[in-house]
Every structure is written in C-alpha cells, then in structure tokens.
Amino acid sequence: MTEEIPSESRCVYCEDAVQWLQERPVLAGCSLVASLPDVSEFPSFSLDEWKSWFTSTVRLVLSRTPDRGVAVFYQTDIRLNGLWIDKAFLCQKAAENEGSQLLWHKVVCRFRPGNSSTGRPAYTHLLCFSRALRSDFAKPRIDVLPESGDKTWVRGMGFEACRIIGEYITNETDTRTLVHPFCGQGSMLAVAEKLGLNAIGIERSPKRAELARGLTADLELRKFLRRRIMSSNQRQAK
C-alpha cells in the first residue's frame, strides 16, 4: 500500500514526526531524510530506552521509503558516561532488520581534521539506504566532506551536507519529493526546493516549523549565516 504525496513545492506539518509516519503507508515517489534526536532530548528515557526508540524510528522511516527511493540519515555519535554511542551502527542494525541495504556512508567533519574535541565527536555520519537501488562504484564519490556548511542553528544540518543529499536524490533516483521528518528549521527543505524537488517537512515545534516554511537557500542567506557564525565565534573568544 502506498500514498501519493501532495505536489506543493514545500509543505511543513507541525506534528509529531513519528505519529505522522505511523499514520501513513509507503510514501510513493519520495525519498526520506532524517536526523533523529539523541538521548539528551529525552530526559525521562534511560539510554537503553532511547536506543530502542532510535532503532524503531529508523525502521519506521525505512518502512515508509519506497523500494526505489532512498532514506538518508544525518547523525552525530554521542559520548555518554564513558561510552561511545555509535549511531551509524544503530542505523545499520535497524536497516538490516528492515531489509534495506547501505548504498554509501560518508563522514562529515564538524571541526577541522586534526583538532581535538570534547562532548560530541568531531564528525557526523551520513548514511544512505535503499531496498532496490544499488550504487555505481565506478563513479567517483566524495566520502569525506571537510565541512557541513553553514547552519541556521547548532543542531541543524549544514547547507553543504544538504546539497550533497539533495543532488544525490535528484541525480540518482526517480523520486521527486523529499520528505524530512524532524525537519528542524528547514535547511534540507530549502535546499531541496532550490534543486527543483518538492519538499515536505514534519516538525513538532511550532516556532521551528514556521521558520522551516520560509527559509531559503539563496546566496545572501548563506552570507548572513557566515557573518553570524563569525560574530558568535569572536564573542566566545573574548
């Protein structure tokens, strides 16, 4: 069973993403992109409870992806109580149980390589899964992105990572609608729309959902974001 998605160039639902997906069958003509929240956003969960939620939600995203679409996950590991929590492993574990295969795994640098970091690791995983599609490894690929690009907020996806995802979906799949559960402030939606894809976001926060409806990926916005980040860094250095 599949569901046809509205053809508006951008639509943002202010709803719980898990419930929204649960209420729908396979999303025909769509590829999905998700950056799932980590345990810090679930204060009432134990680590094991969050892991269970995370893997079941990855499976839910994969289960709503059509066979010839892709599901892409943008996830940063966490270090907690002396343990390294590998979200790429959790994604692949869920994908194996759901019958999806890993097409590619990229590393996105959060800081300049060679620098030490505290808290979260200095890189983010970018993983792409599909049931039916397969990668052509004869084509040259970028496996390590030196930066994620400008961000609208600290937990957001960088515009450069969004571009890589959007161009892959545009050039390597027949899907023309990008569905983004947990869309935050909408960077991925803005880039998808810029590339000619229809974009659907689901975001529980009314404030972030409103921002996601209007965010654009034009050059002036990126210049503004770069200036804001530089200003913030200068203030922190004082």
pLDDT digit string (tens) for 92-115? 999 999 999 999 999 999 988 888
Tell me the pLDDT band of 130, cut-offs 50, 70 and 90: very high
Radius of gyration of the chain (CA): 17
* Mean pLDDT (whole number) for 23-34: 98
Burial class of 131 by CB neighbour count within 10 A (0 to 12, 13 to 18, 19+) = middle
- Residue 220, pLDDT score: 45
Higher pLDDT, 232 or 217: 217
pLDDT of 4 reads 52
- Say how far apart CA 125 and CA 198 lie, in whole Å: 25
Higher pLDDT, 8 or 181: 181
Cβ atoms of 124 and 182 within 8 Å: the answer is no
Look at residues 185, 179, 182 and name the one whose alpha carbon lies nearest to residue 209: 185
Region of poorest pLDDT, from 74-78, 89-93, 148-152, 167-171: 148-152
231 lies in which domain range? 2-237
In the chain, the number of structural domains is 1
What is the pTM assigned to this prediction? 0.88
Question: For residue 189, what is the domain's CATH number?
Answer: 3.40.50.150
Collapsing DSSP states into helix, strand and coil, what is residue 213? helix
